[in-house]
């Protein structure tokens, strides 16, 4: 019998009722509608101390919407660029609207969220290039955004955590913006183990992961690419410090542990926390579970500390 932290069984049951475990077999439009409706099932208010606006950035003929969140009290002139999860297939700026706003409030820093292109209509590397170019845009437009171009933390959950890790590698490989840190929540970093399905976990089945893998990296030769599955063929030297929040009941905890191990072996400052009794996507349960709320608060404070360390 699975032992959950208090509040998590209710969260899992409500998620499965709102978005059945086999949702990935539905038509894409229905998948995206169900995922969007999780914001109704688990509603959160925008923090009173955060303002935001939305506009577009342009690169290579692409136009991407982004939102910039600003707390009324800033403790850093840095920037967090948060990349949402959703398997590269579902999700929008709205599905993570309060998540990004809460980071701005709790970390007392501006936060950018980017509306990247979705798979399978736009497979690898479309979303990745969108998010990397958002980092470049932030650095090049730092004065307009009112941020320090040399104090940017990249952050993300699940598939967004994948892109956050890879963007840190791309910044190194392309001599791009120098990042102050990477703040990750349950990143998926090895898609080779999901190519033909895999083990089920609460709120993340092997079939779902197989579907996402096929959507994002439809060519078998692409799945092991270092920018898709960095644990398989990536380089781990000269990366920014990392804070990794994972969950005990999450099948992606394996990825978090391996990534932390490889970073340490390459003398990168890393802190890994496997939150007891939590599941994948648990940040939606922060109003239901004190364990999630505590983990979330610590995550946001670690981001604040990363930015302060850069400024010290």
Q: How confident is the model at residue 2 (pLDDT cuts 50, 70, 90)?
A: confident
Query: Is 56 a residue whose pLDDT tops 90?
Result: yes
1 lies in a domain? no
Pseudo-torsion of CA 106, 111, 114, 120, nearest 10°? -30
Q: How confident is the model at residue 311 (pLDDT cuts 50, 70, 90)?
A: very low
| Catalytically active residues, by annotation | 158, 250, 280
Q: What is the pLDDT of residue 312?
A: 42
Q: Is the peptide bond before 196 cis (omega within 30 degrees of 0)?
A: no
Q: What is the pLDDT of residue 199?
A: 80
Query: Is 197 a residue whose pLDDT tops 70?
Result: no
* Residue 34: φ, ψ to 5°: -60, -45
Number of domains in the chain: 1
Mean pLDDT of 58-62: 96
* pLDDT tens by residue, 169-182: 999 999 999 999 99
Q: What is the pLDDT of residue 310?
A: 63
235 lies in a domain? yes
* pLDDT tens by residue, 267-280: 999 999 999 999 99
Query: Is 1 a residue whose pLDDT tops 80?
Result: no
Mean pLDDT of 69-77: 96
2 lies in a domain? no
Q: CATH number of the domain that 138 lies in?
A: 3.40.50.1820
Q: What is the pTM of this model?
A: 0.97
Q: What is the pLDDT of residue 198?
A: 73
Q: In the chain, what percentage of residues exceed pLDDT 90?
A: 95
Closest CA to 279 of 80, 8, 7, 46: 8
Average pLDDT value over all residues in the chain: 97
3-state secondary structure of 230: helix
Range of the domain at 77: 8-311
293 lies in a domain? yes
Q: What is the pLDDT of residue 130?
A: 99
* pLDDT tens by residue, 111-145: 999 999 999 999 999 999 999 999 999 999 999 99
Q: What burial class does residue 56 get, using C-beta atoms within 10 Å of its C-beta: 0-12 exposed, 13-18 middle, 19+ buried?
A: exposed
Query: Is 285 a residue whose pLDDT tops 60?
Result: yes
3 lies in a domain? no
289 lies in a domain? yes
* pLDDT tens by residue, 10-55: 999 999 999 999 999 999 999 999 999 999 999 999 999 999 999 9
Mean pLDDT of 213-234: 96
């Amino acid at each position: 019998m699975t032992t959950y932290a208090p509040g998590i069984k209710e969260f899992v049951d409500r998620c499965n009722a709102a978005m059945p475990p086999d949702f990935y077999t539905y038509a894409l439009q229905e998948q995206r509608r169900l995922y969007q409706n999780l914001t109704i099932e688990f509603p959160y208010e925008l923090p009173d101390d955060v303002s935001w606006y939305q506009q577009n950035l342009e690169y290579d003929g692409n136009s991407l919407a982004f939102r910039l969140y600003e707390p009324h009290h800033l403790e850093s002139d840095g920037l967090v660029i948060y990349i949402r999860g959703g398997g590269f297939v579902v999700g929008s700026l709205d599905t993570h609207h309060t998540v990004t706003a809460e980071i701005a409030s709790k970390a007392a820093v501006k936060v950018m969220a980017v509306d990247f292109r979705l798979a399978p209509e736009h497979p690898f590397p479309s979303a990745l290039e969108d998010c990397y170019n958002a980092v470049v845009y932030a650095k090049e437009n730092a004065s307009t955004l009112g941020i320090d171009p040399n104090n940017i933390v990249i952050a993300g959950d699940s598939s967004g955590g994948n892109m956050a890790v890879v963007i840190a590698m791309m910044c190194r490989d392309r001599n791009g913006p120098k990042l102050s840190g990477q703040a990750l929540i349950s990143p998926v970093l090895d898609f080779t183990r999901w190519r033909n399905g895999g083990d089920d976990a609460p709120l993340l089945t092997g079939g779902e992961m197989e579907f996402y893998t096929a959507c994002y990296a439809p060519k078998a030769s692409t799945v092991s690419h270092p920018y898709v599955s960095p644990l398989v063929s990536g380089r781990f030297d000269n990366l920014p410090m990392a804070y990794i929040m994972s969950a005990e009941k999450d099948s992606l905890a394996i990825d978090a542990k391996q990534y932390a191990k490889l970073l340490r072996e390459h003398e990168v400052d890393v802190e890994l926390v496997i939150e007891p009794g939590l599941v994948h996507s648990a940040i939606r349960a922060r109003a239901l579970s004190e364990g999630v709320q505590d983990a979330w608060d610590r995550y946001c404070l670690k981001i604040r500390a990363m930015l302060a360390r850069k400024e010290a």
